[in-house]
Structure 1
């Protein structure tokens, strides 16, 4: 566990690199299974892959961090907020205790105006970081149903959770019956293998990672649901 000072910043800095296109979102998709959502609102490509301590076997998907750099002349010294959307499984991501492999856009956002290219070409950086609350203003939690889902196998990616960003549990309730626990899939995706066909509409109950706050998305996945569709709720943490 990293020591945290009074302002919430970790006492030890993290390493930071970047990947993908200079103004891009790193990789379209990534290990958290967000797909093209990483480049679109409300994420706007302000995302990062995490080394093992940040990705945390998928449990870190959706968590948010403030980071800032001061050790390079091109650094602005102002913090930015990024969401963990991918895994960085090798190189400095593994050799350092904490490592952010930022999108090109996020790395550029750490720079002074007009100096993004200089900062991207500077090589690995040392950055200050702290856990931050995710805040997607005006956005509610969404559920992207997996393309392979059937009435016997329901899986979806949970997107845009405010607050802690990670989830302790996800439960689904079909049109008849009680809530059933879903299994996390080392990403932001959760699945349920059912021995019998399940019918919607489905309620989904989410419990946040640390505070154990609970929200229920009522009838968020309709009776006529289809694979590879996104269904938006009217709730958030």
Structure 2
């Protein structure tokens, strides 16, 4: 019995020390990677103080330099571009491994695809506009940070907040009475879309599915001539739905932009 009394405290001590070591290791590992942030690579393209390139693989054209995007945009690696389904999604990015990094996050919207080169070296990569890349720097040090060329950054998917801007629909060139293609932009919240549907004037035919054409452009092929006005129902990436009633008016024209009075909250 005396032997057992000596052995039992030793066993308890060993187990306690092992548990303490495991807790300490877990704590260190958690602190190394803050919750909600993941690691990616980042480069920049276009003019140093510009908005990447006009348009890009989402089709936003010169809108990338206008409100609400304001040149704070990025091309994304295929993993986040998702064949165009990622167009319009918003991310916070920040850097800290360079002396010119402020460490403060900046918000960018995905407007383009970065298909090769450095964009395939990591699972996720952001090819930022010169403006967005420089915005990660300390005040007055944007040029010095851009000189780095490539950085490791942390990123987090965030809701888009367009501060009162409603969703816009631009009718694409080539649209006609039997074919409609619209670029959809400025979706708040998720920023991206998983489905788009069309209802023609009168609503007798109900909702008809549109197909993603490319980037942020969705299309509908009609048998009989299209009947305006037309409403469009949007489903966001997380499944929220929203109807832009009669947003494509009678007398619509290719090249015209028609802004709704709704947006995701």
Pick one of 122, 145, 149 that aligns with 2:171: 145
Q: Specify which of 125, 134, 146 is matched with residue 120 of structure 1.
A: 146
Moved over 4 A (4+): none
Q: Give yes or no for the alignment of 1:163 onto 2:163.
A: no
CA drift at 1:27: 0.6
Q: Deviations over 1:38-71 (max 9, x none)?
A: 0000100000000111111111100100000000
Q: Secondary structure at the match of 2:247?
A: strand
TM-score (norm 2): 0.85
CA contact (8 A) 1:64 1:83 kept: yes
Which residue matches 2:132? 106
Provide the residue aligned with 2:62 in structure 1: 36
CA distance in 1, matches of 2:93, 2:48: 18
Aligned equivalents of 1:35, 1:203: Cα separation in 2: 24
Question: For 1:139, what is the secondary structure of its paired residue?
Answer: coil
1:73 positional shift: 0.5
Which structure 2 residue ranges, 5 or more long, are not aligned? 1-32
RMSD, aligned α-carbons: 1.0
1:180-191 matches, cutoff 5 A: 180-191=208-219
SS for the counterpart of 1:185 is strand
Which whole-Å CA distance do the structure 2 matches of 1:143 and 1:101 have between them? Answer: 26
Stretches of structure 1 that go unaligned for 5 or more consecutive residues are: none
Tell whether the 8 Å contact from 1:58 to 1:185 is kept in structure 2 after alignment.
no
How far did residue 6 of structure 1 move?
6.5
More helix as a share of residues: 2
Q: Higher Cα Rg: structure 1 or 2?
A: 2
Matched residue pairs, number? Answer: 230
- TM-score under structure 1 length normalisation: 0.95
- Which stretch of structure 1 is more off in the superposition, 179-188 or 101-110? 179-188
